[in-house]
Chains A and B, each alone.
Chain A
């Protein structure tokens, strides 16, 4: 008895509170997104998505219980096996999966459809933690960097075959964890610079201005630095690299299939392809923007309910919240997410083993990436990629996978003292 009490004490109820608050908000919004005033059904009606989501929530609670009563060592021991298993499933998916929207990303189990790629994130996180836990693993070494990147790269490659660019992109989130674990800073400086340069390249249509800007920047660096030959050549080389990168990016974007090209260009010009990609972003912004400060009131929205926003209960679920609860609602939801993430960073830092900490940072990375990209795409800050909003979006695969991902960490955290004792 006494031991059980201690056990409950070690569980981080703050995280669980954030989790249920987000799941509950998501469920209310899924109902609002499909609500039809003329043909109103109960939020519990299993024939509509909010009812189905309730099943997913219920089964998620079951999963939580299973995870919490399981032996924490199981996740440590199974990590590589799970990873290999999911890589095999991913490999097979394009051959035996069900084709939906031109992607073979789904397995059909009776009336339920599952998306293996969602669960592979969890398996990859465990595998990364396992790989990197040894004291000799050092991200400062190229060899170890390659190992980690290889582990991340394999599922990306397989998901791209489905093809599902959005989900594949999610794996880049692990760079957040790698940063914490000591990946050299220069990679991030270069990476962020390239992202910045890419945005500028795509935003500036006239290449003359772009190259002019790069030239001026290079000259400025040369003028301001010590005028050694080394510096002059170095900065000159940097300028040439930047110009070459900009040129090749333009070239690559032009060679992309139209729909992908439009997804990017619509960020800079909403009138590109107004009935295709532009339609999604424009309508999504209209829905959110029309919410004002306080929102139109629960179930009073018109834009998501009347299908102006596509995918309104999955990837664009944030529109319903923005429309019906306004900026205040958005604030509450983003505050909940930020609170959860900061809590998880705090929990990860207090872990006694590298395995738990690395896994904790993997959870932070994946949640932060999903959350940021999903909301950013609904308000036109990021191209439209089909990734769900964790805990919010309708769908079993998404809710299950995020629940498992999160609660395995909650479980590890609750056993952090014992883990220490063991090792």
Chain B
């Protein structure tokens, strides 16, 4: 049939058919990238971005809202520029930025829109609006950015930003896509699922000219959007603003809590920044500035800074001693400065006097009794047993672990365990004399300002606390706040032990913090000094008021301000006055705080 040259022709036909089928197999069956490219061509994903939820303060004053901005979109196939520099001048962008974004758009699709210039503000958009018709292949999409009527609580509210690569790969829900905005810190991040709402997506078929050709798969994959839910914060905006005003020029933290509920009234990280700078087109630029600022305005001090608790910890020691039955109000020790240094005060002192005078040798001796209860005849073993038992008691005060506030990045501080000392010194090679500085809140011990404020709340509540939190209700529904914020937590100390301690705290003010005393409101407080090996000590003060029915518990840290009474106590006292009375009757004290010599 086929012979000689006709066979060659016949075989060639077979070979050609096979080559074509082989190549077709490669692109049709072996390579699925063409399918994705086809979908990218013909399926347009139209996303309906819902409004992000608003944030109000505890008195329903607006803290965060949405402001419209404009994304300039480009369809690369239709877009051409005759005068690039004019365009760049008009839109106030760098040429390299334009080229970079245009290349990215081309990379994505020649026929479908991509953002060319993102987040043009209302004001800038008004300037360029009329010139847009001069350019083919450009159109505008409206979206919104977060805005803040008052510059307050920047670190607590947090900011939103474009989702990062790692965040995108961690997102198991598959909800986010490149270019989505998510809460990056503070409430924006913690309550992201509530605030963001649910975006709607429509899949449309489009032809090569971008003209709609109906729904993809009859719209079976389409979803409708739900707006974000509003949050009511526990923050008192007025108090917050006043606190930030008082902290201007100082480095430190303020945390005020409503003791009965754990609601945070004020949370200040100083120095702070105006949250309005971290929005819109200037986000990247401003973020760089803030991020490289030596004073670290983005560092959320109340939950991230850790200091030794200092003298304030003596109250915790007193309470544990009382609860363990090792101390009674009448337990008396002499102020033996050979043990540890102290300032001059009457000696010997009972427990009340020890708190009032913040007597170091008293706690050196009392703590030895708490630690060494002669459970083991071996001093080393006995210290180890005593330390771990004591540590368990301390942890119940919310120290040593994260409290669980509704912000990411909270630090837990640390309370040393026997394990730690075994690691440092070796097992059986340390005893009370090694760790005695813990007695006065020094040594291997760290707490955050938030934990400190929570201590004040425990003292005010006579033993219990609620996990401090920043949210009062979600979409007006108070029951929707996370369950953990509704649970009462116990410090393990009987309420009866607190009366004497509270009285001593009231008295303590007349010794170490006279400026903080108010005539008509009884403040219970305690000064402290967080030792700072790097420079001047940090000034610390905790307080609650009114003593009879505490409505506010507060901790104030002023870094490098020296002894606690001066800066921190005065600031706390003013905030208590502001919160309880709504105004300030002590302008000279306010002056002192604002103009004091503890400016960084």
Q: B-contacting residues of A (Cβ < 8 Å)?
A: 36-38, 176, 179-180, 182, 274-275, 279, 283, 285-293, 302-303, 305-308, 322-323, 326-327, 330-331, 334-335, 337-338, 341-342, 345-346, 348-349, 361, 364, 368, 372, 375-376, 379, 381
A303 with B41, Cβ < 8 A, contacts A290-B34, A337-B17 known:
yes
Which of B18-26, B219-227, B590-598 is near enough to bind chain A?
B18-26
Are B5 and A179 touching (Cβ within 8 A)? yes
Select one of B9, B16, B31, B42 contacting A303, CB under 8 A: B42
- A-chain residues with CB within 8 Å of residue B5 when the two chains form the complex: 179-180, 182
- B-chain residues with CB within 8 Å of residue A361 when the two chains form the complex: 9
A180 with B9, Cβ < 8 A, contacts A302-B41, A308-B42 known:
yes
Write the nearest CB–CB distance from B467 to chain A, whole angstroms.
54
A306 with B29, Cβ < 8 A, contacts A176-B9, A286-B34, A379-B23 known:
no
Give the dominant DSSP class at A's interface: helix
Write the nearest CB–CB distance from A215 to chain B, whole angstroms.
30
- B-chain residues with CB within 8 Å of residue A342 when the two chains form the complex: 10, 13-14
Are A306 and B20 touching (Cβ within 8 A)? no
Chain A residue with the shortest CB-CB distance to B20: A375
Are B42 and A292 touching (Cβ within 8 A)? no
Are B38 and A286 touching (Cβ within 8 A)? yes
- CA of A204 to CA of B13 in the docked complex: distance in angstroms? 29
Select one of A182, A305, A368 contacting B16, CB under 8 A: A368
- A-chain residues with CB within 8 Å of residue B19 when the two chains form the complex: 381
Write the nearest CB–CB distance from B590 to chain A, whole angstroms.
68
Q: Is B209 in contact with chain A by the CB < 8 A criterion?
A: yes
A345 with B10, Cβ < 8 A, contacts A179-B5, A292-B28, A330-B28 known:
yes
Residue of A292, A302, A326, A372 contacting most chain B CB atoms (<10 Å): A302
Write the nearest CB–CB distance from B210 to chain A, whole angstroms.
10
Are A290 and B37 touching (Cβ within 8 A)? yes
- A-chain residues with CB within 8 Å of residue B131 when the two chains form the complex: none
Q: List 28 A-B contacts (CB under 8 A).
A: A38-B214, A179-B9, A275-B110, A286-B37, A286-B38, A287-B38, A290-B37, A293-B28, A303-B41, A305-B213, A306-B42, A306-B207, A306-B208, A306-B213, A323-B38, A327-B24, A327-B25, A338-B13, A338-B14, A338-B16, A345-B10, A345-B13, A346-B1, A364-B9, A368-B16, A372-B20, A381-B20, A381-B23
Q: Known A-B contacts: A286-B37, A292-B35, A305-B207. Give 9 more (CB < 8 A).
A: A37-B214, A180-B6, A291-B28, A302-B43, A306-B41, A335-B17, A345-B13, A372-B20, A376-B20
Select one of A176, A288, A334, A341 contacting B27, CB under 8 A: A288
Chain A residue with the shortest CB-CB distance to B5: A180
Are B110 and A322 touching (Cβ within 8 A)? no
Are B9 and A326 touching (Cβ within 8 A)? no
Are A346 and B2 touching (Cβ within 8 A)? yes
Write the nearest CB–CB distance from A331 to chain B, whole angstroms.
6
Write the nearest CB–CB distance from B260 to chain A, whole angstroms.
63
A-B contacts counted at CB < 8 A amount to 128
- Interface positions of B from 190 to 234, Cβ below 8 Å from A: 205-209, 213-214
Chain B residue with the shortest CB-CB distance to A38: B214
- A-chain residues with CB within 8 Å of residue B17 when the two chains form the complex: 334-335, 337-338
Write the nearest CB–CB distance from B219 to chain A, whole angstroms.
13
- CA of A286 to CA of B33 in the docked complex: distance in angstroms? 9
- CA of A364 to CA of B1 in the docked complex: distance in angstroms? 16
Q: Is B8 in contact with chain A by the CB < 8 A criterion?
A: yes
- B-chain residues with CB within 8 Å of residue A327 when the two chains form the complex: 21, 24-25, 28-29
Chain B residue with the shortest CB-CB distance to A350: B1
Chain A residue with the shortest CB-CB distance to B16: A372
- Interface positions of B from 416 to 442, Cβ below 8 Å from A: none
A289 with B28, Cβ < 8 A, contacts A38-B213, A335-B17 known:
yes
- CA of A306 to CA of B20 in the docked complex: distance in angstroms? 26
Write the nearest CB–CB distance from B27 to chain A, whole angstroms.
4
Are B213 and A379 touching (Cβ within 8 A)? no
- B-chain residues with CB within 8 Å of residue A182 when the two chains form the complex: 5
A285 with B10, Cβ < 8 A, contacts A307-B207, A346-B2 known:
no
Write the nearest CB–CB distance from A167 to chain B, whole angstroms.
20
Chain B residue with the shortest CB-CB distance to A302: B42
State the 6 A-B residue pairs at the shortest beta-carbon distance, nearest first: A289-B34, A290-B38, A306-B207, A302-B42, A289-B27, A338-B17
- CA of A37 to CA of B111 in the docked complex: distance in angstroms? 21
A285 with B1, Cβ < 8 A, contacts A306-B208, A334-B20 known:
no
Select one of B35, B42, B111 contacting A289, CB under 8 A: B35
Write the nearest CB–CB distance from B333 to chain A, whole angstroms.
85
Write the nearest CB–CB distance from B409 to chain A, whole angstroms.
45
Are A379 and B38 touching (Cβ within 8 A)? no
- CA of A392 to CA of B539 in the docked complex: distance in angstroms? 89
Write the nearest CB–CB distance from B17 to chain A, whole angstroms.
4
- A-chain residues with CB within 8 Å of residue B31 when the two chains form the complex: 289
- B-chain residues with CB within 8 Å of residue A306 when the two chains form the complex: 41-42, 205-208, 213
Are A302 and B38 touching (Cβ within 8 A)? yes
- B-chain residues with CB within 8 Å of residue A292 when the two chains form the complex: 28-29, 32, 35
Are A345 and B208 touching (Cβ within 8 A)? no
Q: Is B143 in contact with chain A by the CB < 8 A criterion?
A: no
